[in-house]
Chain A
Amino acid sequence: MTGKLNFREFCIILAILFTVILFVAISFLFFVPSPEVIWTSMTSPEMIFSLKLSVITATISTIIVMLVGIPIGYSLSRFSFFGKSIVKSIIDLPMAFPELVLGLALLLFFGNVWVSKPLEILGVQIVFTKLGIVVAQIFTALPFAIRIIYSAFEGVNKRYELVSRSLGYGEFETFTKVTLPLAKKGLFASTIITFARCMGAFGAVLILAGGAYMNTETLPITLYLNMSYGNLGMAITSGIVLIIVSFVAIVVFEKLEGLNAVKS
């Protein structure tokens, strides 16, 4: 070494250093508590409740986010309409918006008499309920999902749609037979990311659903609650379970995508 670090070396070293720190930090999760502690934590009623609730709510939220996000992403990519740029910026807003503040906004909205009373008449309660978890997850994940879905549709050349239309297929048929299959990769990716974000949603879930023990307790809430009781074993284990579930989701989705690609 001549002592002077050139720019290229500096960038590469920074990249490697950051990656190593990240990996070492994650591995601490797995090695700090003893295997027995992890096992008893994992099989505790609280963890099982929390895992079940997380998977169920995140699955419901993901389905809703995709069902809502696909038409929104498509309309932003293909159509021009009055107020489109405002819609676009509102969708961007929560990305730069702290999750806790989003939760607070949702709490004030759904807690407002004008909103909560009509919902109550319909038998729907959102504040401090399991339904609130789903609502919070949806609002946390939707902006991200729309972004990815939007770029998936941007990646499909409009001319394929035009060709399909000229062959006699209507707008909706063209969408299902040409656009959706061509955007499949991006749609799969956004499904995975949406699920992972819903599983990991914390701030908004805590505030809107209350984070009540064994009631509105999802995995991130379990981590937080046990951390504040000083129960480190449970806290770390819920972190491990979160990582495992996200990892399994990625593997399952990639398998599904692979099968789909072979078929067509």
Chain B
Amino acid sequence: MLLKVENLSIELGEFKLEKASFEVDKGDYLIIIGPTGSGKTIILETIAGFYQPKQGRIYMNGKDITGLPPEKRGISMVYQDYVLFPHMSVYENIAFGLRKKINDEGMIKREIERIAKVLKIPHLLNRSPTTLSG
């Protein structure tokens, strides 16, 4: 099982979530539906490690990751907003995510140029993300 969430209870101020359990296998898609404020984002943020659950466990490939800090979990989070850092260029934004995986600036540069070519955006690399439209 790629991801297993077991009896997850979360308490954040006024907000309470009781005993959520689900599993996701490799290649699966999981869709969580609920009204605004029902805790969809908080569940994802707890899986990513930003909040400690009050109860329950989170397993990744069978390993208990409930106590690990976010940077040790290997789970990345993409928000609808707040995806790009406004204080970095497009290039720096891509490089930021690669630097913890590739330890060679030259290789990072080649990789970004390759991705940019595929996406046909080499001319945008030095722009600030705040000047881009969706």
Contacts and interface: CB of A to CB of B under 8 A. Distances in A.
B75 interface: yes
A182 interface: yes
B77 interface: yes
Given A157-B82, A159-B79, A159-B82, A169 B100 contact: yes
B75 A166 contact: yes
A179 to B, nearest CB: 10
Contacts of B49: 165-166
A83 interface: no
Given A160-B85, A162-B77, A167 B100 contact: yes
A178 interface: yes
A168 B71 contact: yes
B82 A160 contact: yes
Contact of A167 (B76, B81, B88): B76
Contacts of A170: 69, 71
Main secondary structure on chain B at its contact with chain A? loop
A262 to B, nearest CB: 12
Contact of B70 (A165, A178, A181): A165
Nearest to A80: B13
B83 A163 contact: yes
A264 interface: yes
A168 B85 contact: no
Contact of A162 (B50, B96, B97): B50
Given A159-B79, A163-B77, A169 B85 contact: no
Contacts of B71: 165-170
Contacts of B48: 162, 165-166
Interface range on chain A (Cβ under 8 Å from partner): 10 to 19
Interface string B59-101: 0000000000111011111110111011110000000110011
Contact of B86 (A165, A167, A182): A182
Contacts of A184: 87
B45 interface: yes
Interface of B: 45, 48-50, 69-71, 73-79, 81-83, 85-88, 96-97, 100-101
Given A166-B76, A264-B87, 14 more contacts: A157-B82, A160-B82, A160-B85, A162-B45, A163-B79, A166-B48, A166-B70, A166-B73, A167-B71, A168-B74, A169-B71, A178-B85, A182-B85, A264-B88
Interface of A: 157, 159-160, 162-171, 177-178, 181-182, 184, 264
9 contacts: A163-B85, A165-B48, A166-B49, A169-B71, A169-B100, A178-B85, A182-B85, A182-B87, A184-B87
Which 10 residue pairs of A and B lie closest in terms of their CB atoms, listed nearest first? A168-B100, A165-B70, A159-B82, A166-B77, A181-B87, A166-B76, A167-B97, A168-B71, A162-B50, A166-B48
